[in-house]
Structure 1
């Protein structure tokens, strides 16, 4: 059983940002921060199976791919890396690359890596706030500048780089070729309204990602049977014993948690280690003064999965 406010780990990256507001109030140090990892409070606690991050991109990230479970385990690693992104903010020209424009053979992929033309093979798409992108293991992908993303992933840091935009970092050609499904991305399922306050964003074999939108003053109970991570993306709330604002979150496992939405309501992302959505994950408390308001229809921000095939000529 666990219910704790998440500890934030700042991860420097050459492509990161120095101003993390409003997602973090940590004072800029001049060192670019690319990621904020949400961690257990106790470093000696059992290692979670999922990793929740915030990403801040001021430059193009490498074109990369992650292994699936079978390949990772053959390499002596516990598991591969499937992930999903939720766009928190984006500049007008922000893009991501997911999949390739057309299928390549292993020999063609090696050649494209060698001469740098792999960047032209990637399927690039503009993104905006609220977009959801599912990136299964084996899919070639990249993230452009001007983005703040929330990412949920299998807890693995195994990355094979195919192209790094001239940075002096190692490429992993043979591992990348072996790991990659070198073709176009599959269309992903659209978001699904599970209730007036719950939207299913991604359901994968390794995790479920949802968004909650809770009315100001409403009070709820979260029943977390599996490992569950929550991050506030708008508004505020009291999460169990702790107050949380934008960019803050918590870890819950095998326990219930009381959620009291703040005066401006609460919008949060919730990710948990399951293959299908939990029917009983969230319920309104019977003694809630704002039950009527909380259960009335709420304006829901647009959430769109990227379809990487519809726009392809």
Structure 2
């Protein structure tokens, strides 16, 4: 069985004034995110499209144990970003240039110099970044991406460019990993198939369907299908960029069309 997921458009101060095709423009608001409602059979994962005209806040998320210990939720948030489009010179921040003390991080967050302590990675379409819980990160302006994450929205902001939004320095200090971003967490969709994340919470792979073939799922159970480009048909259900669907099992049927597809499944190593 395959079923498309309903979507919700979310206004953000750093969003864009007009969404690119094939997305509709639901209002005159600046839309920053499009959320796909997690299905009951796969409610531990959430898929979003993110559109940033300005830098997002510098932030970090707790892991499962930290979220529970802090009484803010039962799940933490690890995520993966797959870059859809990026303006020339656009960047995302992940990790710090070097190790330093938590007190130094707090002072840098207060005076804004934390921006210069982060590593800003120049990005282009098809780049991917795994952002485990605790990684201090920020999405830069001029970037649109697909985010696959644990179904949790706990965010602790360290710095927000003077925007009138709450910061969470004490909580962020408890969860932030202070140090460089591991090189192995960055990857790229080169070729027709590969694995972007094989972590404790989810596996994310990419696969190009160039005809008619079966889904290359690894885990036994449901999966989320997110088109990166092109279109496919599965059991007469058409799926294209800007949509997300859930398939219940390996027997979803043959996939036909020409599409670069992201496939997300939960893993059992938590």
- TM-score scaled by structure 2? 0.91
Match of 1:7 in 2: 6
Shift of 1:225: 2.6
- Cα distance between partner residues in 2 of 1:158 and 1:32: 22
**Equivalent pair of 1:226/1:274 in contact (CA under 8 Å):** no
- Cα distance between partner residues in 2 of 1:260 and 1:96: 34
210, 214, 225: which one aligns with 1:220: 214
Residue aligned with 1:81, SS: coil
Residue aligned with 2:55, SS: coil
Match of 2:19 in 1: 20
- Cα distance between partner residues in 1 of 2:141 and 2:215: 38
Tell me the alpha carbon deviations over residues 230-259 of structure 1, each in whole angstroms, 9 at most, x when there is no partner. 111211111234211222120123452124
Residue aligned with 1:4, SS: strand
How many residues align? The count is 267
Alignment root-mean-square deviation, CA: 2.3
39, 47, 55: which one aligns with 1:60: 55
1:90-101 alignment to 2 at 5 Å? 90-101=86-97
20, 32, 35: which one aligns with 1:34: 32
Residue aligned with 1:199, SS: strand
- Cα distance between partner residues in 2 of 1:191 and 1:170: 33
Match of 1:231 in 2: 226
Shift of 1:28: 5.0
- Cα distance between partner residues in 2 of 1:189 and 1:116: 26
1:273 has 2:262 as partner: no
1:176 has 2:175 as partner: no
| 5+ residue gaps, structure 2 | none
- Cα distance between partner residues in 2 of 1:254 and 1:260: 13
1:148 has 2:144 as partner: yes
- Residues 240-249 or 206-215, more deviating: 240-249
- Cα distance between partner residues in 2 of 1:54 and 1:23: 12
Residues 255 and 153 (structure 1), Cα distance of their counterparts in 2 relative to 1, 3 Å cut: same
**Equivalent pair of 2:129/2:185 in contact (CA under 8 Å):** no
Residue aligned with 2:252, SS: strand
1:130-209 alignment to 2 at 5 Å? 130-188=126-184, 197-209=192-204
- Cα distance between partner residues in 1 of 2:133 and 2:237: 35
Residues 192 and 104 (structure 1), Cα distance of their counterparts in 2 relative to 1, 3 Å cut: closer
Residue aligned with 1:20, SS: coil
| 5+ residue gaps, structure 1 | 277-313
- Cα distance between partner residues in 2 of 1:30 and 1:259: 40
